[in-house]
Structure 1
Amino acid sequence: MLEDLQTPCLLLDEAAMRRNIKGMADRFKQIGVPLRPHLKTAKSIDVARILQEQGADRWTVSTLKEAEYFSSFGLKDILYAVSIVPQKMERIMQLNRTGAQMSICLDSTEMATHLSTMTLDGPKPRVYLEVDVDGHRTGVKADQQRAVDVARILANASNLEFAGVMAHGGGVSYAANGQQELEAAAEQERTCTLAVKDAIVEAGLPCPQVSIGSTPTALFGTSFEGVSDVRAGVYVFQDVFQANLGMCAMEDVAATVLTSVISHAPHLNRIVVDAGGLALSKDRSCASQSNDCGFGLLSDVDGHVDPLLYVQGVSQEHGYITTRDGSPLPFELYPLGSQLRVLPNHSCMTVAAYEGYHMINGDHEGEWWPRCNRW
């Protein structure tokens, strides 16, 4: 079957994905805290249905296109986890008018004030105050008066519903080295977010929800006391970066890129494939880890990883494969026209290049599952 596919193309191992989804779902059923899966990686209603089978009933997205897409399939409790701007509010309100229960987030008195003065036609959107737990991205710091100031504006707004506080511990956790550091990162995410809630409550304001999460903090958190829901996304597919962190084994990486050998360059000790920077992304996140995997690791078409090979470099449509230790390539094992699979460094970035998934290794083998792309 795979030999008939035009390369490069995206493969999704259904069995591996189902294991990943069930493992995280079982963990949080035991903990007793709901998961709010992040759909930014998969962007597929077919994948979301499998998450639903394991109990998911609330969702996170990174684009309004995703929110519109998933809402059209009946997924309604949706958090758009990117700082809002006024120009996007009409799309938010249109979603609410058609049955969604949209949540948005912000981190400034300026935006809170602006939204509170807007005329919003439809059910009130829920608004989270985003907390910066590790200097990673956006949000207010736990010791800033701004947190209470923003919360007060939101709580007093007649056209908004103040939902509470949220955070994404994606800085310290993604830079962590070993279980102890991962556990500490998860606890930092939780306690910093709860500190902002406590400050808001002490000011006499409501703060109903506390939403936190990333795949590393979800998997290594030792306490979720005080947490309303946990957001994580890349765990559904996993990738080489997550495997290097200890989140999974390489055989758990569910999304891979099928590529064809198009050239041999013995003088460079290089095999060239037709998956380049556009097909793999140029994410080099693994360069920060001890196990630097270039632009991805390689397996055969059956999924057996060859630890000797990696994608050393890319240009737009070419991927350059060589040995990790500099030993001579066994070119005879990889004849022209043969196929390999690339395990991506960062699956969220790699799968974004494709319109859908060619399903393998499961009940839906041979099917094509479409994705929702763009914004």
Structure 2
Amino acid sequence: MMNLAELTTPYLLLEPEKMRANIDRLQAHMDTLGVPLRPHVKTAKSIDVVRRLFPAQGTGPITVSTLKEADYFAEHGFTDITYAVGISPDKLPRVARLHRGGVCLRVLLDSVAQAEAVVAFAKRDHVSIPALIEIDCDGERAGLREGDAKIVEIARILQENKQFSGILMHAGGSYHCPDKAAKEAAAEHERATAVKVSEALRDAGLPCETVSVGSTPTAHFAKDLTGITEVRAGVYVFQDLVMAGLHVCQLDDIAISVVATVIGHRPDKGWIMTDAGWMALSRDRGTANQEVDQGYGVVCAMDGTPYPDLIVSSTSQEHGVVELRKGSKSKLPQLEVGTKVRILPNHACATASQFDGYVVPDQNELVFWPRVNGW
């Protein structure tokens, strides 16, 4: 049992009703388009959150960004996992251990060297490790571009040992698409690129069972997913200021916030000081290039209502400087020392990673949902 007034700040507050609404919204959209979700659990990293992504206590499929996540969720019964970060050979023994434990863990690669390393290890260790080829659809991350002859070459290397599972891509460019038409176009470009690559592989006589796409913006704004076998998204579960700035969600949809305490004032500068610095909020400045720069976070009252134009403008390790955004005609609120505030995060994944878990109101009680960090 916990009492909000007795908790030491900063801590991470999760509103389960908002989370539930976010989950249901994207799931309904995927149901309409007829494509299954493979949620990316790198945002939540908590079994208490991820259980709520699946009906009837289902166990996947899921996407992870670290092998520690894979170990953690495997321990909780998840056996269908995609590790969506390019594989390095030194991690293959950990991958093999998961396979021997009954987990189908797909790895990701985009080079001949990686494919040869995976095949050689699998033969030597007498284990089958399915692999996906990463495709770059918009120049934002790793992967091979459509039409690159290496795609077929890598697929053949893998298929000779029956380890080729398909292709995967992430439309990172959608994070630069604030208007609806641009997000819809990014989603269609992602889909069309994936379909072209999968068709080219099949034309070369290679099976392409998995055609995986995904980002939170394109998942929400896709209008057609013909030819796609699964969609991955992660931050949609909590949402954040970057997604609000892209008009994927509203401020009121953001399900997590950092609770901080006012610890001082600088009247000469128009500052309010809090105990939530970058160690609590993260260094992420994802809204800096958006239409509205939210600094290091939007400051709200404890009921979740944002103070007009009040943001965390700068941080040091354990200090947050709160002030009115430049040009604001609002009045700085009178927040006395000891006052609690809530700060909405720029990037939910980065902010959540600063904490060991979530403080969650559950009916008339407060509960703690732990999360796993590290690699």
Following the alignment from structure 1 to structure 2, what is the Cα–Cα distance between the partners of residues 109 and 166?
16
Q: 2:92 aligns with which of 66, 73, 89?
A: 89
What is the Cα-based RMSD across aligned positions, in Å?
Answer: 1.5
Following the alignment from structure 2 to structure 1, what is the Cα–Cα distance between the partners of residues 124 and 296?
45
Following the alignment from structure 2 to structure 1, what is the Cα–Cα distance between the partners of residues 202 and 364?
49
Q: 2:72 aligns with which of 62, 69, 72?
A: 69
- SS in structure 2 opposite 1:105? strand
Specify the alignment match of 1:144 in structure 2. 148
How do 1:226-265 and structure 2 match up within 5 A? 226-265=227-266
* Pairwise CA distance, 1:113: 1.4
Following the alignment from structure 1 to structure 2, what is the Cα–Cα distance between the partners of residues 331 and 164?
55
Asked if the contact 1:60/1:79 (under 8 Å) is kept, the reply is: yes
Following the alignment from structure 2 to structure 1, what is the Cα–Cα distance between the partners of residues 26 and 329?
39
TM-score calculated relative to the size of structure 1: 0.96
* Pairwise CA distance, 1:22: 1.1
Asked if the contact 2:295/2:311 (under 8 Å) is kept, the reply is: yes
Asked if the contact 1:269/1:328 (under 8 Å) is kept, the reply is: no
Following the alignment from structure 1 to structure 2, what is the Cα–Cα distance between the partners of residues 79 and 323?
43
Following the alignment from structure 1 to structure 2, what is the Cα–Cα distance between the partners of residues 279 and 363?
26
Specify the alignment match of 1:308 in structure 2. 309
How do 1:319-330 and structure 2 match up within 5 A? 319-324=320-325, 325-327=327-329, 329-330=331-332
Specify the alignment match of 1:128 in structure 2. 132
* Pairwise CA distance, 1:326: 4.5
Change (3 A) 1:6 1:243: same
Q: Give CA deviations for 1:107-150 in whole Å, capped at 9, x if unaligned.
A: 00111112212245465121100100111111100021111111
Following the alignment from structure 1 to structure 2, what is the Cα–Cα distance between the partners of residues 209 and 364?
44
The answer to whether residue 5 in structure 2 is matched with residue 3 in structure 1 is yes
* Pairwise CA distance, 1:207: 1.1
Following the alignment from structure 1 to structure 2, what is the Cα–Cα distance between the partners of residues 17 and 185?
25
Contiguous gaps of at least 5 residues in structure 1: none
Following the alignment from structure 1 to structure 2, what is the Cα–Cα distance between the partners of residues 49 and 21?
11
Specify the alignment match of 1:50 in structure 2. 52
Q: Give CA deviations for 1:247-299 in whole Å, capped at 9, x if unaligned.
A: 11111101100000001110000000000011101111101101110111011
Q: 1:103 aligns with which of 102, 106, 116?
A: 106
Following the alignment from structure 1 to structure 2, what is the Cα–Cα distance between the partners of residues 184 and 32?
19
Asked if the contact 2:270/2:332 (under 8 Å) is kept, the reply is: no
Equivalenced residues, count: 370
- SS in structure 2 opposite 1:217? helix
Q: Give CA deviations for 1:42-95 in whole Å, capped at 9, x if unaligned.
A: 000001110112877300000000000000000110000000011101111101
Following the alignment from structure 1 to structure 2, what is the Cα–Cα distance between the partners of residues 331 and 177?
31
Specify the alignment match of 2:18 in structure 1. 16
Contiguous gaps of at least 5 residues in structure 2: none
Following the alignment from structure 1 to structure 2, what is the Cα–Cα distance between the partners of residues 113 and 280?
41
Asked if the contact 1:96/1:122 (under 8 Å) is kept, the reply is: no
Asked if the contact 1:211/1:229 (under 8 Å) is kept, the reply is: yes
Q: Give CA deviations for 1:189-236 in whole Å, capped at 9, x if unaligned.
A: 111122111221111111111000000000001110000000000000
Specify the alignment match of 2:225 in structure 1. 224
Following the alignment from structure 1 to structure 2, what is the Cα–Cα distance between the partners of residues 278 and 133?
34
The answer to whether residue 370 in structure 2 is matched with residue 370 in structure 1 is yes
Specify the alignment match of 1:280 in structure 2. 281
189-198 or 88-97, which deviates more: 189-198
Following the alignment from structure 2 to structure 1, what is the Cα–Cα distance between the partners of residues 175 and 230?
20
Q: Which amino acid aligns with 2:338?
A: G
